[in-house]
Amino acid sequence: MKVLCIAGDPGGTRTLSVVSAELLRRGVELQLVAYRQAVGILQEHGLPVIVCDEVMSANAAQHLRDWAPDLLLAATSINGQDFEKRFIQAARSIGLASIGVLDFWANYRGRFTTQPPDGPLDALPDFITVMDAKAAEDMVSEGIERGRLIVTGQPAFDELYRPCDSAEVRQQVRESIGCGQDDLLLLFASQPFTEITSETGFRTVPYDEMEVLELFLNSLRETEVGAYAKVWLRPHPRESSAKFAPFCGPQVFISSSFDRIQAIHAADAVTGMSSIFLLEAALLGLPVLSIQPRQVGEGPIPLASLGLGEITRSAVECPAAVQRWLAACQRPHAARTPGPESPFRAGAAGRVADVVIDRIRRRQAS
């Protein structure tokens, strides 16, 4: 069996990366096609990665004919290039089966149209694996046929279940960033909303990262712990650290070091906007606060509905929400692996791999 995988944005790539590893383990031959941040992420497998550019994406159909895979497996991106969409369209034009792997609860139409955010769904794969029933229902409400959707879980969350000495990781990370073991370490997970707007020409949320960061820091200063807590500003892979330089000081520092799970183990609490990083931190037992000014409803991540954290949608209410979040830091944390009550089961990568292999076998049989 041969599968061509393509990805661009970090979130989708990490999800696809875990599935790729499972397919390799099962003996499937892969070709990894990547652009932007996906290149480095997929190279972690130690396999050759073909860098996709405008020329290759424009000739995607010919590339697919030349390598002749049995199926196209695509992540989803919204970055102004969105080469996955061109490969999906090319696969359809030559009669090649395609599966999309969803990684996040937002911008559903934008991921499958060449005219985002709300253009015609002209880049839909044959099937789409999704994280949960909520994502499936949301997608159906936006005009995507239920028959295309297969609930598998979120493959990137499989990493949360891997055995880990969280105490040792916590000590190592804190020593590296100059944070004492007894210091209160608060992690702010940023997102590149400014960059997304610049690249695509539309706003995906009613706030941006700079507004929310300033609101958080001002709210923190109003608390008793604001005088001594350390704040770790963690940029998204699509962000430059330089944009946060004006916020730095004795208690506020910027670092992209360590992977996201190591960073979560080192922190005492996590805040931010609507990053999947917040949901992962909550699944690992940390107090989590989502700050989303003017957001209508819960926002993209199902944090509050799953009972995993608090969302504040008002600048006026933010200081009180920060106080409650800090109070939660003083309580004993649960073990830092998802428990049996977790809404996301381990093994999602295997379930996506099952879908891929089943689709190939069905087509071969017919």
Q: For 176-196, what is each residue's pLDDT tens digit?
A: 999 998 999 999 999 999 998
CATH 3.40.50.2000 in the chain is located at 2-157+345-365, 165-329
Mean pLDDT of 209-219: 97
Residue 304, pLDDT > 90, answer no
pTM, to two decimals: 0.91
User: Which residue in 87, 20, 78 sits closest to 52, CA to CA?
Assistant: 87
β-partners of residue 44 are none
Say if CB 61 and CB 94 are below 8 A apart: yes
Model confidence at 295, in pLDDT bands (50, 70, 90)?
Answer: very high
* Higher pLDDT among residues 339 and 102, named by residue: 102
Q: Tell me which residue of 182, 186, 157 sits closest to 264, measured CA to CA.
A: 186
pLDDT for the residue 351:
98
Q: In the prediction, which pLDDT does 334 show?
A: 53
- Gap between the Cα atoms of 56 and 87, Å rounded: 10
Section 103-126 average pLDDT: 93
Q: Are 273 and 209 in contact (CB under 8 A)?
A: yes
The residues, ordered by sequence, that sit 6+ positions from 173 with a Cβ below 8 Å of its Cβ are 257, 258, 262, 263, 265, 266
Of 226, 215, 222, 206, nearest to 272 by C-alpha is 215
* Res 335: pLDDT: 52
Average of per-residue pLDDT values in the chain: 93
The stretch 83-89 carries a mean pLDDT of: 98
Residue 163's pLDDT is 85
Domain spanning 165-329, CATH class:
alpha beta
**Per-residue pLDDT, 142:** 94
User: How far is residue 147's CA from residue 126's CA, in Å, rounded to a whole number?
Assistant: 9
The whole-number average pLDDT for the span 3-30 is: 96
pLDDT at residue 268, rounded to an integer: 95
Q: What is the CATH architecture assignment of 2-157+345-365?
A: 3-Layer(aba) Sandwich (3.40)
**Which pLDDT band, with edges at 50, 70 and 90, does 305 fall under?**
confident
Q: pLDDT tier at 46 (50, 70, 90 boundaries)? A: confident
Q: What are phi and psi of 352, to 5 degrees?
A: -65, -40
**Average pLDDT of span 14-28:** 96
- Six-digit token string for 314: 């008002």
**Which three-class secondary structure state does DSSP give residue 29?**
strand
Q: Please give the single-letter amino acid code of residue 223.
A: T
Bridge partner residues of 73 (DSSP): 5, 99
Mean pLDDT of 127-136: 96
Q: What is the pLDDT of residue 332?
A: 61
